[in-house]
């Protein structure tokens, strides 16, 4: 009996080998200890029935307890090795690593920059003005009559007194003409505000780019040629443009410029409402009253001006059907246009 207890104690030492065993060693270890014929513990257990009753009880209890410990340790190690094996094989070493999130420029910002860049090459510099304006700069100096509907609180966001959120970027024409003497050639990007519903084609806040050229001897030919050159640079060299007569208080004559629809190339599609054309800007020859209101001699100087909506232009270029897609800040939508953004 003594020798059996000593053998069990010795065997217990081998429990320590199990957590270190690898998948080749583990089955051998199992056989060595618990093998049905020659397992060390099996052999001890086989001798238990031949012992005298008192020893049988003691050795039997100790041997069975040790057997359960071995079984538990072997099972635990087996599970551990199996788990390690599956997690190794599910690791795809060719998978690209996780990188940090990178932002990009909003589509409308990109279009604003691109437009300003093209006009920069044509000799125009960038100017800016405040979003809070006086009625005088926003309307009266631009030759709006006192009863123009845009002056109504229904249509514009008025602040205290005669201040309002500018309804267009045209007041920066006034600021520019009052601050600099001709020759003047500026493009003026910025936000404008109107009490419009936020729907598929309107946003109460939107970007505009204003343009103004004033000098001696500027004619309608300069005006048409400059804007047509811009359209061919911005869209494609063969893009057709047309000018339609229009009306603005601050230009005379006034015109709207259309470009051939970029989606159907003029054939007619839902984006251009089957017309084959997309309106991209309002424009005209600067009204002499605007020059006089800002102290510029309208006998000596003439000029042209225009205002365009970069969001609309982005929409016509990419066939985006709803302006809200641009202003709702859904990065999943915007990221497709932002180079390098993820």
Helices (H), the chain: 2-13, 25-34, 40-47, 53-89, 107-121, 135-138, 171-179, 220-234, 288-293, 310-318, 324-327, 331-334
Give the interface segment with ligand DAH, choosing from 26-34, 45-53, 114-122, 303-311 (CB under 6 A). 303-311
Contact track, ligand DAH, 191-230, x by CB under 6 A = -------------------x--------------------
Q: What count of Cα atoms within 13 Å lies in the side-chain half-sphere of residue 142?
A: 28
Residues 260-299 that bind ligand DAH (CB under 6 A): 282-284
DSSP string, 269-296: -TTTTTSSEEEEEEEEEEPHHHHHHTT-
Residue with tokens 């020798």: 3
Query: Closest separation between CB of residue 173 and ligand DAH, Å?
Result: 6
* By CB under 6 A, residue 137 contacts ligand DAH: no
Q: Is the peptide bond before 253 cis (omega within 30 degrees of 0)?
A: yes
Residue in 257, 307, 320, 323 binding ligand DAH, rule: CB under 6 A: 307
Q: Which of 140, 234, 301, 306 binds ligand DAH (CB under 6 A)?
A: 306
Task: Kindly tell me which residue out of 248, 277, 301, 337 binds ligand DAH, with binding defined by CB under 6 A.
Answer: 248
For residue 266 the two structure tokens come to 């003029």
For ligand DAH, the closer of residues 32 and 252 by Cβ is 252
φ and ψ at 306, to 5 degrees? -155, 165
Query: Out of 30, 67, 106, 168, which residue is the one contacting ligand DAH (CB under 6 A)?
Result: 168
Binding residues (CB under 6 A) for ligand DAH: these are: 168, 170, 210, 248, 251, 282-284, 305-307
């Amino acid at each position: 009996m003594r020798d059996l207890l000593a053998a069990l104690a010795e065997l217990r030492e081998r429990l320590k080998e199990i957590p270190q065993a690898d998948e080749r060693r583990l089955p051998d270890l199992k056989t060595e200890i618990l093998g049905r014929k020659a397992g060390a513990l099996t052999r001890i257990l086989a001798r238990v029935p031949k012992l005298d009753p008192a020893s049988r009880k003691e050795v039997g209890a100790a041997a069975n307890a040790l057997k359960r410990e071995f079984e538990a340790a072997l099972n635990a190690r087996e599970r551990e090795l199996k788990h390690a094996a599956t997690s190794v094989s599910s690791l795809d070493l060719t998978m690209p690593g996780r990188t940090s999130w990178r932002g990009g420029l909003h589509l409308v910002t990109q279009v604003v920059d691109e437009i300003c860049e093209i006009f920069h090459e044509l000799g125009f510099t960038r100017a800016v003005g405040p979003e809070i304006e006086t009625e005088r700069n926003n309307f009266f100096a631009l030759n709006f009559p006192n009863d123009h509907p845009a002056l109504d609180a229904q249509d514009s966001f008025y602040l205290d007194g005669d201040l309002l959120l500018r309804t267009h970027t045209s007041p920066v024409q006034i600021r520019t003409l009052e601050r600099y003497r001709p020759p003047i050639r500026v493009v003026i990007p910025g936000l404008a505000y109107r009490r419009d519903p936020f729907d598929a084609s309107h946003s109460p806040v939107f970007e505009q780019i204003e343009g103004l050229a004033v000098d001696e001897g500027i004619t309608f030919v300069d005006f048409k040629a400059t804007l047509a050159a811009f359209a061919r640079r911005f869209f494609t060299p063969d893009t057709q443009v047309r000018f339609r007569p229009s009306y603005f208080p601050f230009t005379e004559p006034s015109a709207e410029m259309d470009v051939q629809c970029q989606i159907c190339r003029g054939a007619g599609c839902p984006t251009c409402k089957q017309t084959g054309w997309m309106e991209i800007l309002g424009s005209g020859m600067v009204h002499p009253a605007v020059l006089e209101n800002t102290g510029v001699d309208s006998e000596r100087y003439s000029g042209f001006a225009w205002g365009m909506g970069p969001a609309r232009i982005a929409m016509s270029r990419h066939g985006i059907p709803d302006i809200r897609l641009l202003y709702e800040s859904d990065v999943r939508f915007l990221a497709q246009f932002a180079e390098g953004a993820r």
